């Protein structure tokens, strides 16, 4: 029997360090006894691509599990609260066209599907405002908790906006100091495989040969082990998601205490959309566009109109986006996490959450021996392929529900040939009933649960038939939940501090662990 | 709004303050030096400062907002922060909030000759306990936090009029965690007097039901008045 005891992670960006920390935290007992090890090999020369400044609420339990303090995280990663996304001009393109995809589930989500009840009412209140308080909190720039709320707990569900360039070093410090992860700064110059194709060892320029039982490929777009060494192909999805380029810029606030949005702003443009993310020190803004539908000069002007005159003095970075993922994610004794596994445009911030979920799955399902590894790998591939597919569907949903016809970009986006069959079928189904439990999204860890589809569909004016007789039995409960929600919204609006104010207080006083 | 002035024997020569004034508040900060006096009558708990989130020790005076069930009860030890009434310290000076409801009537602060009265002298001596007491209490709580000995406590109360109350944002010593600390930590807590403070806090939890009973009697009385 070949025991799996030494894990080697290649690449030290956000994906590499998060994976190292998650695996090491889960296997602390064995690491302390010396019967298990986690080593991270990272080139001292390759620059880290800071992917995504947006996260999902899963990051809270991930950070808590690896044992960092939320206060330290806020202070060292320039983090701020994120309570969801506000999507402007995606449906009609008009000035007043906007909806929220909040992180809170609709009230009573486990007991009743609120959608048909809301559709039957249609009293001028948006779906989001009818079923959860979070849109109202975002409208007023309020935080999801107070200074008296314990670390990682919230009055409303939340994730973070963070400085990705500071996040990886933050996790690195913790993983090496507290979790026993061995850090090897060295360039990999050769990969050695055994007869069965398994990676046996890596030759490095600075640190000699490194052997391992399981190798995690976190080498970014290079995909050194899974792509280059094991020859696993890349499956593009630019026939579904057209955006292939981003122009990114960091915009300072007019004053250090300027209001800071507690949600991601995503504003649709003629050939893509602009993200706008508030960190304590600056706003991260970027235009994600389809180079088939606009050119770089026009894209720059679009971004300049959004940012305003300050852009003339700022550095604008052009980032290629190669949307797609590997055909499989775990082959032989190599598993890929992060960009080495695939990448999608940043709509709905899927990058970090996918890395977290993969790391967690590897940590929890860690094969005890090489002999059972292929069984674990097959399951990992099945789950991860499912996740990528669902995320692609969910991102496409934002585009294909548009009613905009003002540019070829939007016209092309509703072309059925560009919509995955599964999503087409779901959209057909959802004209007759709204998504909920026992629907398509019944996996234990869905990246985007049915609630997310509800917020986007009904935020974008999707029509679902409602039979009044069908919902009569639960209408009393639904009415009560909407009333409860209205009260909860008023209460939270009165109690919650401003996002900026709370983040400043966390820097000054810190949050308590309990 | 507070109207704070540094106390001065000329300006405040004729000022009077009601020493027994009971502020309409249900929770007041206390310091560790008072625990032995408090434990027999008040639930001693830990709460968080609404401005900074920092832990502090306090006693429950009532259950609902602004409810002081000790108002008009005489003969009991009164927490220093209740005794001090409208007075504060400002550096080495004593300051007073002139808009505090206890100001006006009651005891004079200065004699005809302009000397501090026994009442004002007692306030000055009170601050000699309270000011260092705040630091001692912080040190005590810091040690409890370091040893992960603070835990939230859920207090749910039901009353005979059918109403219920859930008190949130309160913490106390985690008795189980206390039993699991190392011998060295236990000895350290004991030597510094912290172990005694922990057990006084735990013992004082019995006062919650005494307070609830007082509240219950008031509610039932009110119900009788309404229906009678």
d(CA A418, CA A239): 6
Q: Provide the sign of the torsion angle of the four alpha carbons A505, A509, B1, B4, taken in this order.
A: negative
Partner B contacted by A490 (CB < 8 A): no
pLDDT in tens, A246-263: 999 999 999 999 999 999
- And the tokens for A407? 């540019």
User: Are the beta carbons of A512 and B48 closer than 8 angstroms?
Assistant: yes
d(CA A351, CA A56): 10
Q: Domain of B215?
A: 4-227
d(CA A366, CA A386): 20
Q: Which of A33, A65, A82, A428 is catalytic?
A: A82
For A164, other C-beta atoms within 10 Å of its C-beta total 22
Partner B contacted by A153 (CB < 8 A): no
Question: What are the residues whose beta carbons fall under 8 Å from the beta carbon of B6, sequence distance 6 or more?
Answer: B90, B93, B94, B95
Structural domains of chain A, with CATH: 6-53+163-238+323-370 (3.50.50.60)
User: Are the beta carbons of A237 and A343 closer than 8 angstroms?
Assistant: no
SS (H, E, C) chain B: CCCEEECCCCCCCCCEECCCCCCCCCEEECCHHHHHHHCCCCCEEEEECCCCCCEEEEEECCCCCCCCCCCCCCCCCCCHHHHCCCEEEECCEEEEECCCCCECCCEECECCCCCECHHHHHHHHHHHHHHHHHHHHHHHHHHHHHCCCEEECCEEEECCCCCEEEECCCEEECHHHHHHCCHHHHHHHHHCCHHHHHHHHHHHCHHHHHHHHHHHHHHHHHHHHHHC
d(CA A330, CA A323): 19
- And the tokens for A424? 């087409």
What does the pLDDT average to over A294-307? 97
- B 156-185 residues with CB < 8 A to A: 169, 171
**SS3 of residue A249 by DSSP:** strand
What number is the ipTM of this complex?
0.82
d(CA A36, CA A212): 11
Per-residue pLDDT for chain B (228 aa), expressed as one digit of tens each? 688 999 988 889 899 999 988 888 999 999 999 999 999 999 999 999 999 999 999 999 999 999 999 988 888 999 999 999 999 998 889 999 999 999 988 999 999 888 999 999 999 999 999 999 999 999 999 999 999 999 999 999 999 988 999 999 999 999 999 999 999 999 999 999 999 999 999 999 999 999 999 999 888 888 777 765
Q: Which residue of A has its CA nearest to B52?
A: A509
Residue A101: pLDDT band with limits 50, 70, 90: very high
Please state whether beta strands B93-97 and B4-6 pair in parallel, antiparallel, or not at all (unpaired).
Answer: antiparallel
**SS3 of residue A32 by DSSP:** helix
For B82, other C-beta atoms within 10 Å of its C-beta total 19
Partner A contacted by B52 (CB < 8 A): yes
Q: Provide the sign of the torsion angle of the four alpha carbons B80, B81, B86, B87, taken in this order.
A: positive
CB contacts of B55 in chain A (<8 Å) are: 512
d(CA A363, CA A355): 12
Give yes or no: A82 in active site: yes
Q: Which residue of A has its CA nearest to B151?
A: A514
The reported pLDDT for the residue numbered B201 is: 98
Report the number of distinct structural domains present in chain B. 1
> Taking CB atoms and an 8 Å limit, are A510 and B51 in contact across chains?
no
Partner B contacted by A146 (CB < 8 A): yes
Residue A295: pLDDT band with limits 50, 70, 90: very high
For residue A344, which of A319, A317, A321 has the smallest C-alpha distance? A321
For residue B197, which of B126, B139, B127 has the smallest C-alpha distance? B139
- And the tokens for A425? 């079928």
Residue A81: in which H helix or E strand, if any?
Answer: strand A80-82
**Model pTM?**
0.91
For B89, other C-beta atoms within 10 Å of its C-beta total 14
């Amino acid at each position: 029997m070949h025991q799996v005891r030494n894990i080697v992670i290649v690449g030290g960006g956000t994906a590499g360090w998060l994976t190292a920390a998650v695996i090491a935290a889960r296997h602390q007992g064995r690491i302390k006894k010396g019967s298990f090890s986690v080593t991270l090999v990272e080139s001292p020369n390759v620059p880290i691509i800071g992917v995504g400044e947006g996260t999902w609420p899963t990051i809270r339990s991930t950070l808590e599990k690896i044992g960092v303090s939320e206060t330290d995280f806020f202070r060292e990663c320039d983090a701020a609260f994120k309570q969801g996304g506000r999507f402007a001009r995606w449906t009609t393109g008009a000035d007043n066209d906007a909806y929220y995809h909040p992180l809170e589930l609709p009230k009573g989500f486990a007991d009743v599907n609120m959608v048909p009840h809301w559709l039957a009412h249609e009293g001028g209140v948006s779906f989001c405002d009818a079923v959860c308080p979070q849109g109202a909190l975002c409208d007023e720039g309020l935080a999801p908790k107070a200074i008296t709320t314990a670390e990682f707990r919230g009055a409303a569900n939340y994730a973070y906006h963070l400085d990705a360039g500071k996040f990886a070093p933050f996790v690195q410090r913790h993983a090496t100091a507290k979790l026993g992860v061995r850090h090897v700064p060295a360039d990999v110059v050769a990969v050695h495989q055994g007869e069965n194709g398994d990676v046996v060892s890596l030759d490095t320029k600075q640190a000699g040969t490194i052997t391992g039982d399981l190798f995690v490929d976190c080498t970014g777009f290079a995909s050194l082990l899974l792509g280059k060494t094991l020859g696993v192909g890349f499956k593009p999805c630019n026939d579904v998601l057209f955006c292939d380029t981003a122009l990114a810029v960091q915009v300072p606030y007019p004053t250090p205490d300027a209001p800071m949005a507690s949600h991601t702003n995503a504003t649709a443009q003629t050939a893509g959309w602009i993200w706008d993310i508030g960190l304590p020190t600056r706003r991260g803004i970027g235009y994600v566009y389809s180079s088939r539908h606009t050119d770089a000069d026009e894209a720059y002007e679009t971004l300049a109109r959004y940012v305003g005159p300050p852009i003339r003095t700022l550095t604008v970075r052009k980032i290629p986006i190669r949307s797609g993922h590997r055909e499989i994610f775990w082959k032989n004794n190599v598993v890929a996490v992060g960009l080495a596994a695939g990448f999608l445009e940043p709509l709905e911030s899927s990058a970090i959450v996918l890395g977290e979920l993969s790391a967690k799955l590897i940590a929890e399902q860690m094969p005890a021996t090489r002999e059972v590894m292929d069984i674990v790998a097959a399951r990992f591939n099945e789950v991860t392929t499912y996740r990528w597919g669902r995320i692609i569907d969910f991102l496409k949903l934002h585009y294909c529900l548009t009613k905009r016809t003002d540019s070829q970009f939007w016209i092309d986006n509703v072309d059925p040939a560009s919509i995955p069959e599964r999503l087409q079928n779901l959209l057909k189904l959802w004209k007759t009933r709204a998504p909920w439990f026992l629907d398509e999204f019944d996996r234990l860890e869905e990246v985007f649960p049915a609630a997310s589809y509800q917020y986007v569909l009904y935020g974008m004016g999707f029509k679902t038939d409602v039979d009044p007789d069908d919902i009569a039995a639960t209408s009393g409960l639904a009415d009560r939940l909407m009333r409860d929600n209205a009260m909860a919204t008023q209460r939270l609006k009165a109690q919650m501090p401003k996002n900026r104010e709370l983040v400043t207080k966390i820097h000054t006083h810190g949050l308590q662990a309990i | 709004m507070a109207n704070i002035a540094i106390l001065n024997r000329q300006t405040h020569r004729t000022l009077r303050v009601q020493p027994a004034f009971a502020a309409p508040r249900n929770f007041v900060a206390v310091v560790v030096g008072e625990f032995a006096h408090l434990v027999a009558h008040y639930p001693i708990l830990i709460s968080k400062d609404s401005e900074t989130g920092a832990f502090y020790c306090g006693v429950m005076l009532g259950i609902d907002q602004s409810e002081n069930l000790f108002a008009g009860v005489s003969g009991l030890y009164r927490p220093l922060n209740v005794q001090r009434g409208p007075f504060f310290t400002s550096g080495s000076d004593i300051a007073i909030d002139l808009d505090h409801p206890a100001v006006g009537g009651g005891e004079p602060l200065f004699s005809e000759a302009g000397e501090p009265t026994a009442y004002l002298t007692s306030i000055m001596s009170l601050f000699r306990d309270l000011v260092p007491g705040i630091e001692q209490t912080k040190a005590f709580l810091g040690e409890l936090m370091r040893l992960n000995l603070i835990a939230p406590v859920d207090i749910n109360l039901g009353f005979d009029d059918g109403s219920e109350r859930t008190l949130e944002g309160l913490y106390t010593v985690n008795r189980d965690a206390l039993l699991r600390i190392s011998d060295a930590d236990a000895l350290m807590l004991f030597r510094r007097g912290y172990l005694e403070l922990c057990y006084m806090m735990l013992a004082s939890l019995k006062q919650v039901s005494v307070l609830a009973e007082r509240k219950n009697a008031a509610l039932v009385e009110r119900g009788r008045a309404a229906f009678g």
